Chain A
Amino acid sequence: MRLIDQTSDRPDFKRDLIAVVPHLRAFARGMCGKPDLADDLVQETLLKAWAAQDRFEPGTNMRAWTFIILRNAYLTEMRRNRFRGDYDQDFAERTLVAPAGQEGPVHLADLHRALLSLPAERREALLLVGAGGFSYEEAAEICGCAVGTIKSRVGRARASLTAMLEDGKLPGNRVADAGAYGSIMQELDEVSHRTRK
């Protein structure tokens, strides 16, 4: 892929693509957990989007279009046993803190850990609708499913997170936690687990 030689006579495309990068990073981080893997995914997405710019229809939703590319790249990497929604506890503890002025610490790290324990389909649905600001219709287009399916996934994700967080029943961050491990591995049936340890 000769990106260096490939020019673009569509400045709007470049501008709009650059504008969505922070959102791509946020979505990738929510799916992957680890910042470095998420940024690898984003870079791969940018390369693919750049190569496919002729297929992008000006005036349409750049964010949704690139999210589709990123999602497909994520699924591909999952099948290759590379991205498994790993929770980076050290990073989370360093960065997921409440802004100054709050009455007490907001343990977003717990929320992040709970989010990563969800099956990927429900996690992505919740991220798209609950955090990314996409409508159910847009999220369905990104995920390649019916609107009703997205609504179901969001509803189940919300119920699961609520149960985990309000009841204080969070998945552990060690493989020894059979419940959390089983939840993640159930989603990744086709992925080899032997290299985990």
Chain B
Amino acid sequence: MRGGPTQATVAKSSRPQCKDTLRIMDMSISMMRSDPHDRGSGKTLVSLAHGKPEWAAGLRQIYDGVVREPLPESVRALLARLDKG
């Protein structure tokens, strides 16, 4: 990353530090090359495969969370227009 990571630190708060927080996540899925169709429910986190960073499951969780969201009305309306031809 150009310029390197910033030197700003997480503000002290009642929240645990990122490193400790991420270690709470007990994960064991192959993050970077997993089957795109094998999403699972996203509710249960399992141990990380060797070599995968701890945040990798979080990245998938963020992505899958959006995939599972209901489509907003604006998008549904557009699809309906397209579907009607």
Contact = CB atoms under 8 A, between A and B. Distances in A.
Contact of B55 (A39, A162, A171, A182): A162
Interface of B: 1-10, 15-19, 21-22, 24-25, 31-37, 42-45, 53-56, 58-69, 71-72, 74-75, 78-79, 81-85
A29 B66 contact: yes
Given A43-B75, A165-B55, A186 B21 contact: no
Contacts of A133: 34-37
A52 interface: no
A42 to B, nearest CB: 6
Interface stretch (A68-76, A77-85, A94-102, A140-148): A94-102
Q: Chain A binding site: helix, strand, loop or mixed by DSSP?
A: helix
Given A22-B68, A132-B63, A107 B18 contact: yes
B78 A47 contact: yes
A164 B36 contact: no
A18 B78 CA distance: 11
Interface residues of A, number: 77
Contacts of A96: 62, 65
A117 B45 CA distance: 26
A46 B24 CA distance: 39
Q: Which of A7, A105, A110, A135 gathers most chain B CB within 10 Å? A: A110
Nearest to A47: B78
B8 A3 contact: no
Interface of A: 3-4, 6-8, 14, 17-18, 21-23, 25-27, 29-30, 39, 42-43, 46-47, 50, 95-96, 98-99, 101-108, 110-112, 114-115, 117-119, 122, 126-127, 129-135, 154, 156-172, 177-180, 182-183, 186
A71 B22 CA distance: 30
Given A22-B71, A26-B67, A158-B53, A104 B59 contact: no
Contact of A105 (B21, B79, B85): B21
A7 B56 CA distance: 42
Contacts of B55: 111, 114, 161-162, 165
Contacts of B37: 133
Contacts of A168: 9-10, 17-19
A14 B82 contact: yes
Given A21-B71, A46-B78, A172-B8, A129 B2 contact: no
A39 B74 contact: yes
